[in-house]
């Protein structure tokens, strides 16, 4: 079948089991072939081929609402809803999103990218359905990894209480990106091994009904027996105690089992959980054998061997630089403890875990818990390093304010993926953390220009004893420069001049330093002398240097890969306003405008928002004549 001709999934209604099995093979082949060229979330999608086909066969999208938690497993859904011909643009600039996208299709009812949101959204949709007197199914599909998130557990509690009709599909592959952790994971493990539970329950109920004069103490005893056997077969009866009807575990690669249990679920009143066991990466050997999350999201690869075709950067990954520095420090400082919310692999902490297994805590997809846990460690004199993606830290914001900064606890925040991340798009662009960290009392925020400065910043943060401190670092690879053997502290709030100049100043940090240096070099050819300052501390600012700059009465350009509102440039303006200097300076801010930035390469996104060397050059050319004109006037 030519997948490009698919417009909607209605044709699946007529498919036999044999046809579905053949079609599943076609889809797997398409995914393996296509993603070998574009990259993307291969493992999660290969694992849900049969499940997605069965759901679309038994439900009626878009009338019935599918909600894909995280959304990295939605590729088959996109194929079935008429988007196959866009897969060559997957995660590319202006191309097909790697996650559900409401503007892409009427079949996408909820946009995701972060985990554990599906159940809450589904409950909202179910309440709205009932209030409007409608009659359709709401079907959230959530993985066992996402189910560890606190928000998902809150939603389970509410759904079970309200008894709304919801069909929850639990896609259990024992993985999020990497293998899951936690007590709930162990509960699901016991459920996986209880294949005979429903048969036993039915047989037990049938036996009790055949007992003559079923009543009184006999009935009471039988009920106790039934409950006791349920607890024995399924310790805790977790989901049923929460108010759900539980179906499963179901073989997620067997169409007969899937369809049978989905039909049971559709006939059941109240909330239902269909527990589906799938194999992440199924159908492609390298992905099936993956035990650490390598094939969760991939770049282009050779199909025959699985070898990556992604070009390697000059230097090590930024995450690796930070992790290596942390390991180096931890060898001499037993108080150092690393915490991560299910990102041991993503944040390159595997080596730290091997060397210090009792000092690495993966808490699962639980950013709020991770933040407050770090605070608790800090109260006892430990040195907690919370390694967390910028956009995931958003989920722990209240804990940063209330639990860490308010108590002025000495927690180190390693803010990974700070700045534009490219192909993962607007759900993962780390461009808000300066704004939501900078305004909190007691917080220190810094960002390195290269890997050498990065390792010194890690040392600075661990050496710091006066409260919370954050290091931002980008996605991708560092520059590949030589690094110092000995680590030293950088004075808090100190900036450095990278290039001298007297006609204007660029204040910048991190990923935009090269852009500033290139602009300064170009302007030198036009006879302009532009100073470039590495403003590596975003909070506190280097007040001494700022005063000196403002006293020179020369134009100032702030440059940042971060939203302008509340960002670094705003901090400089606030400094000037507080000291009555606004009337004496000529200043412009460059950064990310007030909009969400979609997917594409970082360079393409820079071009789109005007964050380029040429724009820096043009801005300074405008600023300097304006300033000179004012002086002459």
pLDDT in tens, 97-130: 999 999 999 999 999 988 899 999 999 999 999 9
Separation in Å, CA 620 to CA 38, 470, 495, 496, 503:
38, 31, 21, 21, 9
What proportion of the chain, given as a percentage, has pLDDT over 90?
77
- In this predicted structure, the answer to whether residue 210 has a pLDDT above a threshold of 60 is no
Pick from 141, 132, 197: nearest CA to 168: 141
- In this predicted structure, the answer to whether residue 533 has a pLDDT above a threshold of 70 is yes
Which of the residues 57, 78, 279, 280 is marked catalytic?
A: 280
Q: pLDDT-derived band of residue 191, with 50, 70 and 90 as boundaries?
A: low
Taking the CB of residue 137, how many other CB atoms lie within 10 A of it? 20
pLDDT in tens, 229-271: 454 445 337 788 889 999 988 999 999 999 999 999 999 999 9
Catalytic residue at 475? no
Rg (CA), the chain: 28
Q: Name residue, tokens 């108010």.
A: 243
CA 509 to chain centre: 24
> Please, what is the Cα angle at 597 between 80 and 139, to 5 degrees?
35
Instruction: Please tell me the predicted confidence (pLDDT) of residue 168.
Output: 97
Cα separation, 371 vs 396, whole angstroms: 6
Answer with the residue of higher pLDDT: 288 or 166.
166
Answer with the residue of higher pLDDT: 285 or 227.
285
Which of the residues 359, 395, 417, 438 is marked catalytic?
A: 395
Instruction: Please tell me the predicted confidence (pLDDT) of residue 289.
Output: 86
Catalytic residue at 395? yes
DSSP-assigned states of every residue in 559-610 = EEEEESTTSHHHHHHHHHHHTT-GGG--EEEEEE-SS---SS-HHHHHHHHT
DSSP category for residue 403: I
Q: What is the rounded average pLDDT for all residues in the chain?
A: 89
| Residue 317, C-beta contacts closer than 8 angstroms, at least 6 positions apart | 348, 476, 477, 478
Separation in Å, CA 70 to CA 147, 164, 176, 429, 485:
11, 23, 10, 15, 41
Cα separation, 323 vs 145, whole angstroms: 24
Instruction: Please tell me the predicted confidence (pLDDT) of residue 621.
Output: 93
Residue range 584-599: mean pLDDT, rounded: 93
Residue range 6-29: mean pLDDT, rounded: 96
Q: pLDDT-derived band of residue 584, with 50, 70 and 90 as boundaries?
A: confident
Q: Which two tokens stand for residue 334?
A: 């037993």
Catalytic residue at 552? no
Pick from 194, 87, 74: nearest CA to 143: 74
Instruction: Please tell me the predicted confidence (pLDDT) of residue 150.
Output: 86
Instruction: Please tell me the predicted confidence (pLDDT) of residue 428.
Output: 93
Q: Name residue, tokens 């997917």.
A: 599
Pick from 108, 244, 110: nearest CA to 164: 244
- In this predicted structure, the answer to whether residue 449 has a pLDDT above a threshold of 80 is yes
- In this predicted structure, the answer to whether residue 460 has a pLDDT above a threshold of 60 is yes
Instruction: Please tell me the predicted confidence (pLDDT) of residue 583.
Output: 80
Instruction: Please tell me the predicted confidence (pLDDT) of residue 309.
Output: 86
Instruction: Please tell me the predicted confidence (pLDDT) of residue 581.
Output: 87
Cα separation, 355 vs 522, whole angstroms: 47
DSSP category for residue 48: T
Helices 543-552 and 568-578, packing angle to 10 deg? 70
Given a contact cutoff of 8 angstroms between Cβ atoms, the answer to whether 146 and 364 are in contact is: no
Residue range 276-296: mean pLDDT, rounded: 87
pTM of the entire predicted model: 0.86
Cα dihedral: 62, 68, 71, 74 (round 10): -50
Instruction: Please tell me the predicted confidence (pLDDT) of residue 490.
Output: 98
Which of the residues 50, 58, 111, 367 is marked catalytic?
A: 367
pLDDT in tens, 405-421: 999 999 999 999 999 99
Pick from 57, 8, 58, 3: nearest CA to 25: 3
Instruction: Please tell me the predicted confidence (pLDDT) of residue 297.
Output: 82
Minimum mean pLDDT range among 28-32, 128-132, 172-176, 464-468: 172-176
Q: pLDDT-derived band of residue 145, with 50, 70 and 90 as boundaries?
A: confident
Instruction: Please tell me the predicted confidence (pLDDT) of residue 629.
Output: 43
- In this predicted structure, the answer to whether residue 361 has a pLDDT above a threshold of 90 is yes
- In this predicted structure, the answer to whether residue 633 has a pLDDT above a threshold of 50 is no
Alpha helices in 464-594 (DSSP H): 513-524, 543-552, 568-578
Instruction: Please tell me the predicted confidence (pLDDT) of residue 175.
Output: 57
Answer with the residue of higher pLDDT: 199 or 456.
456
Q: How long, in residues, is the chain?
A: 633
Residue range 34-50: mean pLDDT, rounded: 93
**For residue 55, with 0-12 CB atoms within 10 Å meaning exposed, 13-18 middle and 19 or more buried, which class applies?**
buried
Instruction: Please tell me the predicted confidence (pLDDT) of residue 240.
Output: 86
**For residue 11, with 0-12 CB atoms within 10 Å meaning exposed, 13-18 middle and 19 or more buried, which class applies?**
middle
Pick from 368, 365, 392, 386: nearest CA to 184: 365
């Amino acid at each position: 079948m030519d997948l490009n001709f698919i417009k909607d999934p209605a044709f699946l209604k007529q498919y036999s089991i044999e046809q579905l099995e053949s079609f599943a093979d076609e889809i797997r082949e398409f995914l393996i072939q296509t993603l070998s060229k574009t990259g993307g979330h291969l493992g999660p999608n290969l694992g849900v081929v049969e499940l997605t086909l069965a759901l679309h066969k038994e439900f009626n999208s878009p009338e019935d609402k599918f909600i894909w938690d995280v959304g990295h497993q939605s590729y088959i859904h996109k194929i079935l809803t008429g988007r196959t011909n866009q897969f060559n643009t997957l995660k590319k600039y202006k191309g097909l999103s790697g996650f559900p996208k409401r503007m892409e299709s009427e079949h996408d009812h909820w946009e995701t990218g972060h985990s554990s949101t599906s159940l809450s959204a589904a409950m909202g949709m179910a309440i709205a359905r009932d209030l409007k007197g409608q009659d359709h199914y709401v079907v959230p599909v959530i993985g066992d990894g996402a189910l560890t998130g606190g928000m998902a557990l809150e939603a389970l509690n509410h759904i079970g209480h309200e008894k709304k009709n919801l069909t929850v599909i639990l896609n259990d592959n024992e993985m999020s990106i990497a293998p899951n952790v936690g007590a709930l994971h162990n509960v699901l493990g016991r459920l996986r091994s209880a294949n005979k539970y429903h048969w036993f329950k039915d047989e037990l109920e049938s036996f009790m009904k055949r007992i003559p004069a079923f009543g009184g103490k006999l009935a009471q005893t039988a009920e106790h027996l039934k409950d006791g056997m349920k607890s024995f077969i399924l310790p805790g009866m977790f989901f049923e105690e929460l108010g759900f009807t539980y179906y499963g575990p179901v073989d997620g690669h067997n169409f007969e089992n899937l369809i049978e249990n989905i039909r049971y679920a559709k006939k059941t009143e109240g909330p239902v959980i269909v527990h589906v066991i799938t194999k992440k990466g199924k159908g492609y050997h390298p992905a099936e054998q993956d035990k650490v999350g390598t094939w969760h999201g991939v770049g282009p690869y050779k199909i025959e061997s699985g070898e990556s075709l992604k070009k390697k950067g000059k230097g090590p990954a930024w995450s690796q630089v930070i992790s290596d520095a942390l390991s180096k420090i931890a060898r001499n400082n037993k108080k150092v403890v690393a915490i991560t919310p299910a990102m041991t692999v993503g944040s390159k902490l595997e080596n730290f875990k091997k060397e210090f297994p009792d000092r690495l805590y993966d808490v699962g997809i639980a950013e709020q818990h991770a933040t407050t846990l770090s605070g608790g460690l800090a109260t006892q004199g430990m040195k907690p390093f919370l390694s967390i993606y910028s956009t995931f830290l958003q989920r722990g914001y209240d804990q940063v304010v209330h639990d860490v900064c308010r108590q002025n606890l000495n927690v180190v925040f390693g803010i990974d993926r700070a700045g534009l991340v490219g192909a993962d798009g607007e759900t993962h662009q780390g461009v808000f953390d300066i704004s939501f960290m900078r305004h909190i009392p007691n917080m220190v925020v810094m960002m390195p220009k290269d890997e050498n400065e990065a390792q010194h910043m890690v040392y600075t943060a661990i050496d710091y004893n006066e409260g919370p401190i954050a290091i931002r670092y980008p996605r991708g690879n560092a520059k590949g420069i030589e690094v110092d053997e000995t680590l030293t502290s950088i004075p808090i709030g100190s900036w450095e001049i990278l290039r001298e100049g007297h006609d204007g100043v660029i204040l910048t940090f991190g990923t935009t330093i090269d852009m500033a240096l290139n602009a300064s070099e170009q302007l030198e050819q036009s006879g302009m002398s532009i100073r470039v300052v590495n403003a590596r501390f975003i909070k506190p600012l280097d007040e001494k240097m700022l005063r000196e700059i403002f006293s020179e009465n020369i134009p100032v350009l702030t440059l940042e890969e971060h939203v302008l509102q509340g960002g670094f440039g705003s901090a400089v303006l606030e400094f000037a306003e507080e000291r009555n200097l606004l009337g004496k300076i000529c200043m412009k801010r460059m950064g990310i405008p007030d909009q969400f930035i979609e997917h594409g390469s970082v360079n393409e996104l820079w071009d789109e928002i005007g964050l380029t060397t040429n724009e820096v050059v043009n801005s300074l050319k405008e600023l300097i004549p304006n300033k000179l004109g004012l002086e002459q006037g």
